Amino acid sequence: GENVEQHPSTLSVQEGDSAVIKCTYSDSASNYFPWYKQELGKRPQLIIDIRSNVGEKKDQRIAVTLNKTAKHFSLHITETQPEDSAVYFCAAYGAGSYQLTFGKGTKLSVIP
Amino acid sequence: EAGVAQSPRYKIIEKRQSVAFWCNPISGHATLYWYQQILGQGPKLLIQFQNNGVVDDSQLPKDRFSAERLKGVDSTLKIQPAKLEDSAVYLCASSLGTSAYEQYFGPGTRLTVT
């Protein structure tokens, strides 16, 4: 089945700096890669996603890049703010398993 | 639009007891998912329904877990009997189409088994 590795597990940045979280996946047939933000005690919220026919997607301060050859994708957050502090999960949709497989999460702390 | 609803939000039971969770997906969403999220980990799919049929239950511990989605709308997940290792947050999600794209999660039920 699909295996998703996510790094780093924790990340601290100063307010205003950029944050980058990276994920790798194992199933070359995977074609959909969402990112979820989960604040403490809250539900995971879909913040951005990308499909395998696109290399990059942006939405205001967040962007996701996908390298299908290397089987990795990354989340970029620019001009970080304290409210960006949360756990971020990447996931991959395996065409073979027809299910989302999640990474273990990255705890992002934005220091004011 | 209204989001995915779940109840209860919290539940504490003793091991070997039974428990049931309820989920109401976003109106019109054909696909419903139950996930288990253990503290410090990402959600793990337990079962996926498309309308009222099971698409994938390969990771559901069927000796103790069961789920149903009657009439293709609401769903219940049951654990009987519960074990200590079942302590987790149980998340329900739904998506509009029949693929796993754009899943929206409910607030979850935090289960503590003592």
- pLDDT, tens digit, 9 for 90 and up, residues B16-33: 999 999 999 999 999 999
Question: Mean pLDDT, consecutive 10-residue segments, chain A of 112 residues?
Answer: 93 98 94 95 94 91 96 97 97 82 96 95
Beta strands at B109-113 and B10-13: parallel, antiparallel or unpaired: parallel
Average pLDDT over residues B81-97: 95
What pLDDT shows up at residue B69? 94
Whether B1 has its CB under 8 Å from any CB of chain A: the answer is no
Report CB contact under 8 Å: A100, B103: yes
Is the model's pLDDT at B97 over the cut of 90?
no
Predicted confidence at residue A37, as pLDDT, reads 97
Contacts of B100 in chain A (CB under 8 A): 32, 93, 98-100
Q: Read off the pLDDT of each residue in B89-95 and give the average, rounded to a whole number.
A: 96
The DSSP code for A112 is: -
Terminal Cα-to-Cα distance of chain A (whole angstroms): 41
Rounded Cα–Cα distance for residues A52 and A47 (Å): 17
